[in-house]
Amino acid sequence: MKSIAATFNEFRPLLFSIAYRMTGNVADSEDILQDTFEKWLQLDIQQITHPKAYLCKIISNRCINYLQKQQKEREVYKGTWLPEPLVDHPTLQHLDSKINLSYGILRLLENLTPLERAIYLCKESFDFDYSELAEMFEKRPDHCRQLYRRASQKLQTDKKRFEVDKKQQQDLLQLFAKAAQEGEMDDLLQFLKDDIVFYSDGGGKVTAALNPLYGKMVVAKFLKGIIRKGSGEYLMEAAMVNQSLGAIIRHSETREVIAVFAFEWEESEIQSIYAIRNPDKLKLVV
């Protein structure tokens, strides 16, 4: 029989992925995971018939409480709120490739209520049936089915958008590096979709676009402006950001992390760019 810690560790990566996709915050997800583990150690697991469902219930309910407490803070957040980037996180190495942590998916999840999000993620991650979900969340099975269907409809999107060609990623990052170091970005424009969206999160603490920018010409003009101002001051390095190749922007002298860039692709072009600049969301990026 597995030890109580071994049972928890078996599900640790998936439990973290649920917490992160619920909260959009790496450090808080790890805190919630640790709280769940401490509660788990206090239980007599021989009395628990389905450890997987029990653990999922604990962490989901903690995340729902977290989101309810964060609601007012999110409402007064200055500018665009983006999830904290998951950069080279060890959990990524142990997750099933079917568990999608891309920025595009995380943005879509923000359209769900906390309960919709919890039910959708539990069913997606653990394939619970509706009777199990009903027991976990103290709802009727038909209500859980309705919530899952509603969440799925809100998340409807072409999966090809999130399938990325690694060679194209490398080409893109080389062009970004060239732009950051030389101030030249004309070659980069060929990768931008006509209806591209640029999201920037400064949290009111650093300069950032307060609202999303729409359209190739608008985004290109904005990028040219910030690249021209910072030409020679920044260094760019490739990094795994939310399971995809992204970029870390550092100050050339201090090596301080200035921003993390994540990209959402549609076929061979960039549909969205996410620039995370809020210093509070970059503390774990090394």
Which of the four pLDDT bands, split at 50, 70 and 90, describes residue 150?
Answer: very high
- Neighbouring residues of 185: CB distance < 8 A, sequence distance ≥ 6: 175, 178, 179, 220, 223, 224, 227
Strand partners, 264: 272
Give yes or no for residue 8 having a pLDDT over 80: yes
Which tens digit of pLDDT belongs to each residue from 87-134?
A: 977 777 778 777 888 888 898 898 899 999 999 999 988 889 999 999
Which tens digit of pLDDT belongs to each residue from 169-226?
A: 777 777 777 766 666 667 777 788 999 999 999 999 998 888 999 999 899 888 877 7
Radius of gyration of the chain (CA): 20
Give yes or no for residue 141 having a pLDDT over 90: yes
Give yes or no for residue 17 having a pLDDT over 70: yes
Q: Quickly tell me which residue has 């190739």 as its tokens.
A: 216
* CA 251/CA 144 separation, integer angstroms: 48
Give yes or no for residue 162 having a pLDDT over 60: no
pTM over 0.95: no
For the chain, what are the domain ranges?
A: 4-76+112-154, 161-281
Give yes or no for residue 273 having a pLDDT over 70: yes
Which of the four pLDDT bands, split at 50, 70 and 90, describes residue 247?
Answer: confident
Mean pLDDT of 138-166: 80
| Range list of β-strands (E), the chain | 192-201, 213-214, 234-241, 244-251, 257-266, 269-276
pLDDT above 90 covers a percentage of the chain that reads 49
Residue 57 has, within 13 A of its CA and on its CB side, a CA count of: 16
Specify the pLDDT at position 81.
Answer: 93
CATH C-level class of 161-281: alpha beta
| CATH domain 4-76+112-154 topology | Butyryl-CoA Dehydrogenase, subunit A; domain 3 (1.20.140)
Mean pLDDT of 245-270: 86
Which of the four pLDDT bands, split at 50, 70 and 90, describes residue 83?
Answer: very high
Across the chain, mean pLDDT equals 86
Which of the four pLDDT bands, split at 50, 70 and 90, describes residue 165?
Answer: low
